[in-house]
Every structure is written in C-alpha cells, then in structure tokens.
Amino acid sequence: MSTATSLFTPFPPFSPLPKTTSKFSTTFRLRLPSPITTLRHRKHSPFAAFSTLPGGGNNSGGGGGNNDNGKGKGGSGGGDENAGDENRKEAMIVLAEAGRSMETLPKDLAAAIQAGKVPGSVIDRFLGLEKSDLMRWLMQFDGFKERLLADDLFFAKVFIECGVGIFTKTAAEYERRRENFFKELEIVFADVVMAIIADFMLVYLPAPTVSLRPSLAASAGVISKFFHSCPDNAFQVALHGTSYSLLQRLGAVMRNGAKLFAVGTTSSLVGTAATNALINAKKAVDKSSVDEIENVPILSTSVAYGVYMAISSNLRYQVLAGVIEQRMLEPLLHQHKFLLSTICFAIRTGNTYLGSLLWVDYARLVGIQKPQEEENPVLVS
C-alpha cells in the first residue's frame, strides 16, 4: 500500500503547473498597456495639438449621455472606467514629458485629470497655450480656459467676428445715413457698441468647450442637473470617454437660446434707448429735425431682436462652430492655421451677411421695420 501511495505522489505537484503558467501570462499581459498607451499618445499628439477633436475624435457623441462627472452613462461601466484610466495615463505621460506636476496646474484641470475626464491632448494644448502671456492671463478665467482648451483659435475667432461686425455695421450705418453720418455720429456709436457686444456673445456662448465644471450638489434640482450636463455646443465632438445624448444636445440649443434672448433683448434695449435719447436731444437743439427723425420703438424692437438671436443666430452659430469649423475644417486644416483662419474669416463674414438678410425679412414679418427702411438694412448677426 505504501509503495502504491509513493508511486502516485508525483501527480499532485503536477496539477498546479497550469496555474503557474496562467499566472505568468497574466503578469505579462498587465505590463503591456503602459508602452501601448505611450506609443498611442505619442503617435496622435501632433495631430491633437492642432485639432479641436481631443481624444482622437472617436466619440462624436450621442447615445450615452453625460453624468455630472463627465463620464458617459451609455454602455458598460467597465468601458467608462477604461476610458478614464486611459485619459489619466495619457495626461500623466504628457506632464512627465514636460517636467510638470499636478501641483503646477489649475485646481479644476488637476481634478479633471484625476477623474479621467480629459485626455493627454488637452493637457498638451494647455501647456502650449501657457507659453503665451496673453493666453496664460485669459486662462485665469474659467470660461475662456474651457473654450481655449477646445479650440486654440477661439480668441482669433472672437477678433474675426467683432472686426467683421464693426466694419459691416459701420458701413451699413454710413450707407443708410450718407450725408448725416457724421451729424449722427453718437447714434452710430451706440449702434456699433451694441453690435460688438452681441457679436462677442454669439462667438462665446455657442463655442465648443472642454468642461472642467465640478459636479452640482446632490440637493440640486433635476432641471439644473440636466442643463449642467449638456454641452455648450449642440454639435461639438465629445472627449474620449464622454458622450452626449440627443436630448442633451437639444438642451444645449435651448440653454444657449435662453442666454442669447437675454443678451439680444438687453443689448437692443440699451442701444435703442441711447439712440432715442440722442434723437430727442437733437430735436431739442434743432427744431427742423423734429419731423425728419422718428423715435425707435424700444420694447417691441428689443424683444424682437432677442427672439431673433435666440432662434436664427443661435442655430446658425451652433452649426458654424460645431459642424463647419470643428467637424469639417479643423480636421482637414489643423496643420495650416493661417489658411484655416482665412477660411473661418470668409465663412463668418458670409454668415454675418446672411444674418442681415434674415433680419430684414424677420423685422418686416413682425412689423418693426417699415418698407422704406428695408432698402438699406443694417447688418446684424
């Protein structure tokens, strides 16, 4: 019996051999992601440095939705965790290559890295923008920082839009007033200032962003949480590991529409009130001009302009920034910044002209502009 037992004793030690082999292969697999992540980041970082499609643009939104942490809720939780881990590794690799630590970054950006919300391309862009004194100063403001991280040409587009607005508005005022242009210079100035404010907000509000906003408190209402999770541009490309549902993208249109209604109504209210004050002052000095110049209806004009900005301007600038520029032009011309800026200038000028035509039709439809005033319309966005 003892002999038989001793003959079969070698077999138990033989059975763990597959486990040992399996343990070795598992360890081997776990060591692979680090060099793969490094190679993938280094391969795409030149593209990501110029493109506004961070994370490679693989996730163009839809389907999932966004929670307060910026991670998509659609699909499996494991996929979200993997995307967050990949983003975190890429960001840490970029910081290590630049010789930077988390402590040297803004708190909101460091928190986003820790949460896995931003890929390495966003950090790469931040480090590049930080080299400019002007951009570093602008990125102290959260709104500018979120927009510059999504589009490093954002500031240039603001100048393009406001510059086009000043030129077209002044040209239209001169065309309408002709010999009275310099006599009514105060009115012209008020109109141009109103147009500049509106043009700035039309670039700022619908611009794609890299959201660094913290989560809302648990006590926040359902509506507040919903609009907090919506993108700033309905058509913007989502970061890697993030997705937006169709409802959230529609929410972006509604939220920006409400903001632009307030901006349009307020700017028009201030502009028309200032215009009427200057007209009345001129009438008091020059009695012969009493019948020549009529006061502009303040309330109806302001509300009508607010509605126009909330619908027409909102939709056109959402499509311009999110579809034409971010999804079409920038992937093709991300290495040719001057050509990209030139095309953006041409498109935005055409959009401003289109806005003036639509405004004339709309103003005639709601009855705030008389037929004789339509011959030389003022260009609006």
| Cα distance between residue 32 and residue 278, in whole Å | 73
As separate numbers, helices (DSSP H) first and strands (DSSP E) second, the chain gives: 17, 0
| Cα distance between residue 188 and residue 181, in whole Å | 8
| Cα distance between residue 160 and residue 351, in whole Å | 12
Instruction: Provide the token pair at 127.
Output: 């480090």
| Cα distance between residue 153 and residue 376, in whole Å | 33
Specify the pLDDT at position 345: 93
One digit per residue, pLDDT tens: the chain, 381 residues?
444 444 444 444 444 444 444 444 333 333 333 333 333 333 333 333 333 333 334 333 333 344 444 434 444 445 567 888 999 999 999 999 999 999 999 999 999 999 999 999 999 999 999 999 999 999 999 999 999 999 999 999 999 999 988 888 888 778 777 777 787 777 777 778 878 888 999 999 999 999 998 888 888 899 999 999 999 999 999 998 889 999 999 999 999 999 999 999 998 888 888 778 877 887 777 766 656 667 778 898 899 999 999 999 999 999 999 999 999 999 999 899 999 999 999 999 899 888 888 888 898 898 887 655 444 445 567
Helix H or strand E encompassing 279: helix 246-285
Domains of the chain, residue spans: 82-140, 152-366
Specify the pLDDT at position 178: 76
Helix H or strand E encompassing 121: helix 120-129
Full DSSP string of 216-259: PPTTS-HHHHHHHHS-SSTTPPPPTT----HHHHHHHHHHHHHH
- Residue 182 burial (10 A CB sphere; 0-12, 13-18, 19+): exposed
Rounded to a whole number of angstroms, the distance between the first and last alpha carbons of the chain is: 99
Q: How far is CA 362 from CA 12, 357, 374, 377, in A?
A: 88, 9, 11, 12
Amino acid at 320: L
Specify the pLDDT at position 218: 82
| Cα distance between residue 85 and residue 83, in whole Å | 5
Identify the CA nearest to 113 among candidates 140, 136, 90, 80.
90
> Alpha-carbon torsion 252, 257, 262, 263, what sign?
positive
Q: Any idea how long the chain is?
A: 381
